[in-house]
Amino acid sequence: MKDLFAKLVLGFAGLILFAVFFLIGASLTHSMPSILLVTTGINRWEYQPREQTVLYYSDGQEMSRIGYKRVYSEDYPEFLKEAVVAVEDRRFYQHSGLDARGIGRAIWKNIRAGDKVEGGSTITQQLARTLFLSQEKTYSRKVKEVFIAVSLEEKYGKEAILNMYLNEIYMGRGCAGMASASWSYFNKDIFSLNKAEICMLVGMIQAPEYYSPDRNFEELKKRQETVVDILVSQGLISADQGETIKQQPLYIEEFKTEQKRHPYFTAYVTQQLQEMLGTARLYQGGFKIYTSLDRRMQEAAEKTVIKHVRSIEYRGISASDIALVSVDPYTGGIKALVGGVDYERNQVNMAVAPRQPGSAIKPLYYAAAINEGIIELDTVVNNKPRDFGGYCPQNYAPAPEKVTAREALVNSYNVASVEILNRLGIEKACNYLERLGISPIDKEDKNLALALGGMSKGVSLLQMTAAFAVFPNRGEYHPYYVVERIEDYTGKMIYKNKVRSERVISSNTALLMDDVLKDVVRYGTGKNAAIAIRSGGKTGTTSASRDLWYVGYIQELVTAVWVGNSDGSEVKGYGGFGGTVSAPIWRDYMNILYYGWVLKERPVLQVPEDGRINQQPAENGETSPEDQPDNKQEEATEEQELPPDEEPVESEEEEDIKPPTSTVDEAQSEGLEEPEKEKNTGASIPKEEDKAKAE
């Protein structure tokens, strides 16, 4: 009884909707098109064929293109136009943009099916949706679609509308328009296609991804034959011609994925742009996207990563993934971003995927403690293992029982670091971390294990890079960004980044931290990162060497390096520490920039008291053998980060376009050009079940 009542209600609603659309169609056809032409803005709009969206480096050079591939054609074969009208909108030449009969038929079919199974859109409505609206199936969108369609019909003739439609309709494989699809599927000009090939393309309009010849050729062939049958039934071809078309073979070109320059960066910026502009609008094309990416830095970063992944393998260290990020400390602009070694092998972007930071997080809460006046660099703290309310951190190697705060950070002592966090307080520390962009911090992470980087989800390399920028930038934090400005297809600037900043620590605190972090490089765990320019930094190594970090900076650039495996597996092999694996990557990358005159900063000559001048690194980008730090000593010091009893958890008028608001970036970027391509998402990082909790 209930089912019968529901059907009656649905049927009644359908009749009302049919009547509404019929009345709208009648009134629009006779009295309102000229009014809608103004109210929709179509009277001020002119169709312009769009190019793909172009990405630019910070110097204005073109980097790559994203969005639908396009080949504009001023005309199309008559058989193609006839077939499209016959299949998609047989009353195209009779209606004025709205076919009330077709909409009523679609509503009735949807009611009978209990779902939206047919759209009932005319060619003009489809064009309106493609150019101006989203693809959501709602009746409110349908009304907007009708208004725009009627306006288009008022302004343009049928042939112009049909030409726009054939140039804009999405055809799969990242192609917009029939001419582009012709080259992608058959490697032919649109006027060189035979009737069988044309019928195949016409059949794909309904659902280009479902009828993709790359994965569903049998259904596509059936759909092509349906198109042929429609043409026969409407008298456009004879039955014999139809059978001949059905028998013609279809030779489909193999689909080759276009190799994009800087794939990890392109995937990241595409995801950001989808949030800012909307996916459909972005892929429709015509935008010029000016980014903060420095061409020379990006190329140097990729070169260094490729070189070191081979070196790491040769050393017998089982780390297959490397990520590197550089950020301008005075603006937050991303200058280089490499999320992995081989995008074809692994699409997980480790530049933005959260990982356990290990001891690399220590400088952030040390700075907070200094800023709050809780410690000074010469404050003596306990470094002897003790019980912190059930939490018992250990120093990995023998260490002094009492150390200064400076010594604790330079040598990465664990117990002393927990003492400092305990004095500061968890809530206060988390407040500072969140203001530095390290968020969200889960409730379960608010305990003293945080001192050693114990976090449920972790922090991304990009977040850590931006957080460390407060040290060269005298305490001011700038949220990282990548898009400088956006221009639409008319050249109008619709978005311009506004540099934002927040003072998180005082200038004096930043200077003190800068001094101690430079000591880390001079004689602490970061010795392998030493370059000609004075730099500061911090190493980090998590349990089982799953995450090897080095975050370092000079006055004009902050750069972080992560090494590990994206699936969270442990890194095996001798010498697998942040200071012995990641720090040398940082050093070699910075040396390329230094000797290539990419950096403005030059070393300041300092003569020690004994009058001897230290030798600078060799000009091949490597340090000379005499300058190489003692790796054995480095390993012993770096191991202070790995207490055996407590291992951190794994883990013009502008448009109102807002920058992306997410604080933890996605490791994957969805692309419309390859919607069905299987991505390597990597395994989730396991939580440490026995993570100790502190009171």
The answer to whether the beta carbons of residues 138 and 111 sit under 8 Å apart is no
The boundaries of every CATH 1.10.3810.10 domain in the chain are: 2-31+68-247
How far the first Cα of the chain sits from its last, in Å, is 61
Cα of 23 vs its chain's centroid, Å: 46
- Helix-strand-coil split of the chain, %, nearest 5: 45, 10, 45
**Alpha carbon 327 to its chain's center:** 16
Where does the chain hold its CATH 3.40.710.10 domain(s)? 265-605+616-641
CA dist list (Å): 318 to 187, 191, 313, 440, 460: 44, 55, 7, 31, 21
Burial class (CB in 10 A: 0-12, 13-18, 19+), 236: middle
Question: How many CA atoms, within 13 angstroms, populate the side-chain half-sphere of residue 648?
Answer: 36
Which neighbouring-strand residues pair with 485? 290, 496
Residue 325: closest CA among 335, 312, 340: 335
Name which of 204, 222, 221 is nearest 88 in CA terms: 204
- d(Cα 154, Cα 216) in Å, to the nearest integer? 40
Amino acid letter at 169? I
The superfamily CATH assigns to domain 265-605+616-641 is DD-peptidase/beta-lactamase superfamily (3.40.710.10)
Give the whole-angstrom CA distance, residue 76 versus residue 684.
50
pLDDT at 623: 39
Strands (DSSP E) found in 278-421: 288-291, 321-327, 334-338, 380-382, 402-404
For residue 61, the model assigns a pLDDT of 97
- Provide the pLDDT for residue 2: 55
Q: Does domain 2-31+68-247 have CATH number 1.10.3810.10?
A: yes
Q: What is the DSSP secondary structure assignment for residue 275, as one 8-state letter? A: H
What does the alpha-carbon distance between residue 84 and residue 104 come to, in Å, rounded to a whole number?
21
Contact between residue 483 and residue 269 where contact means Cβ atoms under 8 Å apart: yes
Nearest to 208 by CA among 140, 130, 260, 269: 130
Q: What is the pLDDT, as a whole number, of residue 603?
A: 83
Instruction: Say how many residues make up the chain.
Output: 695
548 vs 268, 465, 539, 582, CA distance in Å?
Answer: 22, 14, 8, 6
Burial of 549 (0-12, 13-18, 19+ CB in 10 A): buried
Q: How many helices (H) and strands (E) does the chain have?
A: 22, 16
* Number of CB atoms found within 10 A of residue 609's CB: 5
Structure tokens at 33: 């098109």
Secondary structure letter of residue 579 according to DSSP: I
C-alpha to C-alpha distances, 352 to 69, 318, 671, nearest whole angstrom: 28, 22, 17
pTM of the model: 0.78
User: If the chain, 695 residues long, is cut into consecutive pieces of 10 residues, what is the mean pLDDT of each piece?
Assistant: 54 56 52 74 84 94 92 94 94 85 64 55 90 73 84 91 94 92 95 96 94 93 95 95 95 85 95 88 89 98 96 92 98 97 94 96 97 96 94 90 97 96 96 93 92 92 98 97 94 92 97 97 96 96 94 98 95 92 97 96 68 42 37 39 38 61 40 34 35 30
